[in-house]
Amino acid sequence: MLLVFSTAWLGWSFFTERQFIFATFCFIGAAWMPYFIYNEFKQIFIDTEKRTVTFKAFPFRTIKKYPFDYFEGYVESTVDSKGNPDGFSEDYRCYYLIKNRRVKYKITGIEYDNIDEIEEGIAHLPYLGYQENTFSLSLKIRLNRRIV
């Protein structure tokens, strides 16, 4: 059941119910956007000599540096680029860095052009296998469940 709140009880006659609902969704979207940007836009630096992986969040410049020993390994997968405006879909390589049998970081070829260099860098981590990218895998990752 969808609950629709009226603004008439507030004495706001300049909002219709549709405008109120639209404004509410816009506010929720604006509040969620910084969280999305912080979690999704990262620069990755892999130093094979020092055996470290560094993640730098793009707009906020928070830096998290991990030694290779911090991660249990990585899982390989492929991601399909559905909804491509050119009308064709392409498969991209995807790597999940695993800690406590859960995904700590996701690295995809859609987001990073230098996925070959990243692959060479994470090759120093233990390989935990290949998993088909399915809805259940995506759900486990979003809910922070074990995938290995």
Answer yes or no: is pLDDT of 75 > 90.
yes
Residue 91: pLDDT band (50, 70, 90) is confident
Task: Give the burial class of 15: count Cβ atoms within 10 A of its Cβ; 0-12 exposed, 13-18 middle, 19 or more buried.
Answer: middle
Q: What is the rounded distance in angstroms from the CA atom of residue 79 to the CA atom of residue 82?
A: 9
Phi, psi (degrees; rounded to nearest 5) at 144: 60, 45
* Predicted local distance difference test score (pLDDT) of residue 1: 45
Does residue 117 sit in helix, strand or coil? Answer: helix
pTM of the model: 0.69
Min mean pLDDT across 3-12, 36-45, 106-115, 130-139 is at 3-12
* Predicted local distance difference test score (pLDDT) of residue 6: 53
**Within its chain, how far is the Cα of 37 from the centroid?**
9
